[in-house]
C-alpha cells in the first residue's frame, strides 16, 4: 500500500503532513488543531499517532486538542522530551517502525534544536525534515552549532537523490531570493526560482521537492562546491567555514 500524503497549511507559513499508509494514519507535526481537524473530517480519517520533529511551539501547539479529540498517541525526540507535550513514546535516532511503504526510520538532524529528528520513509521515497533541511534553505541555528547543522545536512544529502523532501515551512520564495545572491548564474537555481514564483502566485505549496533538486540549487547543501566557494570569495576555506558564512549571511538577509 503506497503512502498517501496530505499537505496541510497551518498558522502563517507552517506545514503539517498527514501520512496514510499500511500501518494507519500518522500526523507529522501539529502546528494548530483547527485546519487539521477540518482535513480529517473531510476525509473521514482520524490520526493514530502524532510524530513531532522538535519542540518549537509552531510545530506542537495543536497536540493537546488533537489528542483529546482523537485519543491518538504522541511520539517525539527523546532528547527533547522535557520540552515537548507528554510523549507516549520517546524516539531515539536509529529507531525504525512500520511495514512496507510505511517503514519509517528516525534520523538525528540537530542544529535548529539539539534534539531535532527527521522521519525517513525509504521504501516510500520521502522524508519529513521539519526545520532542518528546508526548500532552498535550512533552519536557523537556535540551539546547536554550525558544525552540527552542516553534519545534519550532509547526512540528508547522502540519501537517495530521488527522495522527496517535505519540510515544515513555506519559505521557498525568500530562500530562493537569498540563494540567488550566492549563485546568481546557476541556471538550475534560476529556473527553480521562476517555478516557485509561478506556483506561489497560484497558492500552491513549494516545500516538497526531490533531494536531487536541493543538491543542485540549495546554497546550504552546496557549501562544499568549488563554484560556490569561488562565488563568495572563499576558495581556500573549508566546507564548514563556507557553510557558516552562508548561514550568517542568510541570518542578516
Residue 90 host element (H or E) = strand 89-91
- Cβ pair 171, 179 in contact under 8 A: no
Residue 151 host element (H or E) = helix 146-157
In the sheet that holds 4-10, the strands lie side by side as 4-10, 14-21, 24-28, 49-51, 73-77, 89-91
Residues ≥6 apart with Cβ < 8 Å to 17: 5, 6, 7, 8, 27, 28, 29, 128, 166
Closest CA to 165 of 58, 7, 2: 7
Distance (Å, rounded) from C-alpha 76 to C-alpha 85? 9
Q: Which three cell numbers stand for residue 92?
A: 531515539
Q: Find out whether 58 is annotated in a ligand binding site.
A: yes
Q: Which three cell numbers stand for residue 22?
A: 499500511
Q: Which three cell numbers stand for residue 233?
A: 570569495
Q: Which residues of 34-66 are buried (b: 16+ CB within 10 A; e: fewer)?
A: ebbbeebeeeebebebbbbbbbbebbbbbbeeb
Q: Find out whether 112 is annotated in a ligand binding site.
A: yes
Q: Find out whether 120 is annotated in a ligand binding site.
A: no
Q: Find out whether 101 is annotated in a ligand binding site.
A: no
Q: Find out whether 169 is annotated in a ligand binding site.
A: yes
Binding-site residue numbers are: 54, 56, 58-59, 112, 131, 169
Binding-site residue numbers for Zn(2+) are: 54, 56, 58-59, 112, 131, 169
Amino acid at each position: 500500500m503506497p503512502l498517501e500524503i496530505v499537505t496541510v497549511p497551518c498558522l502563517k507559513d507552517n506545514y503539517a503532513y498527514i501520512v496514510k499508509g499500511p500501518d494507519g494514519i500518522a500526523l507529522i507535526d501539529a502546528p494548530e488543531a483547527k485546519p487539521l481537524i477540518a482535513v480529517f473530517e473531510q476525509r473521514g480519517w482520524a490520526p493514530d499517532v502524532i510524530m513531532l520533529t522538535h519542540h518549537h511551539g509552531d510545530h506542537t501547539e495543536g497536540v493537546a486538542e488533537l489528542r483529546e479529540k482523537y485519543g491518538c498517541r504522541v511520539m517525539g525526540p527523546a532528547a527533547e522530551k522535557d520540552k515537548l507535550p507528554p510523549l507516549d513514546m520517546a524516539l531515539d535516532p536509529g529507531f525504525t517502525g512500520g511495514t512496507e511503504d510505511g517503514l519509517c526510520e528516525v534520523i538525528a538532524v540537530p542544529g535548529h534544536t539539539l534534539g531535532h529528528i527527521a522521519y525517513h520513509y525509504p521504501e516510500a521515497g520521502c522524508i519529513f525534515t521539519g526545520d532542518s533541511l528546508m526548500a532552498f534553505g535550512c533552519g536557523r541555528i537556535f540551539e546547536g552549532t554550525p558544525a552540527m547543522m552542516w553534519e545534519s545536512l550532509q547526512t540528508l544529502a547522502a540519501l537517495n537523490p530521488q527522495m522527496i523532501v517535505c519540510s515544515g515551512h513555506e519559505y521557498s520564495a525568500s530562500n530562493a531570493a537569498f540563494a540567488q545572491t550566492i549563485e546568481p548564474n546557476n541556471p538550475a537555481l534560476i529556473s527553480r526560482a521562476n517555478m516557485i514564483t509561478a506556483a506561489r502566485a497560484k497558492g500552491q505549496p513549494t516545500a516538497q521537492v526531490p533531494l536531487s533538486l536541493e543538491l543542485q540549487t540549495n546554497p546550504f547543501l552546496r557549501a562544499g562546491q568549488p563554484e560556490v566557494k569561488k562565488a563568495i570569495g572563499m576558495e581556500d576555506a573549508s566546507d564548514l567555514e563556507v557553510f557558516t558564512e552562508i548561514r550568517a549571511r542568510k541570518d542578516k538577509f
